[in-house]
Amino acid sequence: MSTREPPAARPEAHLVLADGAVFRGEAFGALAARPGSVATGELVFNTSLSGYQEIVTDPSYAGQVVAFTYPHIGNYGVNAEDEEARRPHCRAIVVRDLASRPSSWRATGDLESFLTRHGLGGLTGVDTRRLTRHVREAGAMSCALGTATEGELLDAARLEPGTVGADLVGEVTTERAYEVAGGPLRVVAYDYGMKRTILRQLTRTSTIEVVPASTPASEVLGREPDGVFLSNGPGDPAALPHLVREVAALLGSVPVFGICLGHQLLAAALGATTYKLPFGHHGANHPVRRVATGGVEITSQNHGYAVADGSLAAAEVTHVNLNDGVIEGIACRDVPAFSVQYHPEAAPGPHDARYLFEEFRRLMEHDR
């Protein structure tokens, strides 16, 4: 007979959306430790079946509460190798069933303890199918969750500003430049909220100097790199005209490769406009068509904004989302620069689009 003690009862809690919708659950992590606790953010849902640790530590989720559509979260634990940043960047998570005992030879701890250590928590026992349907119909919106009263949570949800017009890059970028040794090429990478897996891919061909998001283009070009990388990151690209100006100043002087927010900033530097998607693209199973070949890639995605079709005259569309037709990739016509909206580094997967890092290498070597 097992001598393992049953888990302690969790406090009842609620998730309340800004439109008044209420979802019941139980608090865990930091939200369970504080009576009357409240966490707020913009609620989005993620359809990945695995990779929850990479998701909660992805800086692109700054300012957001992540609801997982996959019902069992935490079942294989956590380990330091799967962290995409030094700490989690989402505000909280919402799950159907939080595993109380992880099972994996790689696990060095459990998800709840990991979140608690960083002052975060969430809700378990939530009807995430109903929640996902609601967000699909009503759109991503501000929310509040915790053990406070429903009225207090509703007030907090309606006071949460969300991500529209928000410059969240300053919260996640590196404070000082640093170098990561790698291959013979030299790349300067703008850190708008860069994931560690991107660095691992880039260092296969290049030595990377990571610089703060506010670094002037003149300073970057003064380092004489073979290429410049524009990273992923959180928030509304329309709130970042100061970063767009620096990207524009790079074009034509050095090869440029952008991912996610970097893609949006490159497009904006070329004169395009961006807009907020109804509920964003968040998951590891989004089909994207590569225009040049007609081939379909299954991609990992995490973004709430997109480049407006028809607003981009200086570049051609290279990739298109097959779910909703959103622009997923561009290539400049007159200068060596390209970008994709999705995540070709894709930790833990899929890896269909990792060829883009090789394309960046070839572009740099051709322009050397």
Q: Could you report the per-residue pLDDT of 112-151, keeping only the tens digit for each? A: 999 999 999 999 999 999 999 999 999 999 999 999 999 9
Instruction: State the pLDDT at residue 6.
Output: 45
Count of Cβ atoms closer than 10 Å to residue 1 Cβ? 3
C-alpha 89 chain-centroid distance: 9
| Predicted local distance difference test score (pLDDT) of residue 8 | 72
Strands 256-259 vs 227-230: parallel, antiparallel or unpaired: parallel
What residues in the chain have per-residue pLDDT under 70? 1-7
pLDDT of the residue at 7: 58
**Which pLDDT does position 327 carry in this prediction?**
98
Eight-class DSSP state of 292: T
- Give how far Cα 337 sits from Cα of 133, 334, 360, Å: 38, 9, 9
- What is the number of other CB atoms lying within 10 angstroms of the CB of residue 368? 9
Could you list the active site residues? 260, 343, 345
CATH topology of domain 169-367: Rossmann fold (3.40.50)
User: pLDDT of 180-190, one tens digit each?
Assistant: 999 999 999 99
Q: Specify the fold of 12-159.
A: Glucose Oxidase; domain 1 (3.50.30)
Peptide bond into 348 cis (omega under 30): yes
Q: What pLDDT score does 144 carry?
A: 98
Examine domains 12-159 and 169-367 and report if their fold is the same.
no
**Tens digits of residue pLDDT in 147-183:** 999 999 999 999 999 999 999 999 999 999 999 999 9
In this structure, what is the dihedral angle of CA atoms 141, 214, 174, 238, given to the nearest 10 degrees?
10
Contacts of 117 (CB under 8 A, 6+ apart): none
Question: Half-sphere exposure of 74 toward its Cβ, with a 13 Å CA cutoff?
Answer: 22
Give the three-class secondary structure for 103: coil
Residue 122 has a pLDDT of 97
Identify the H or E element spanning 276.
Answer: strand 274-290
The residues spanned by each domain of the chain are 12-159, 169-367
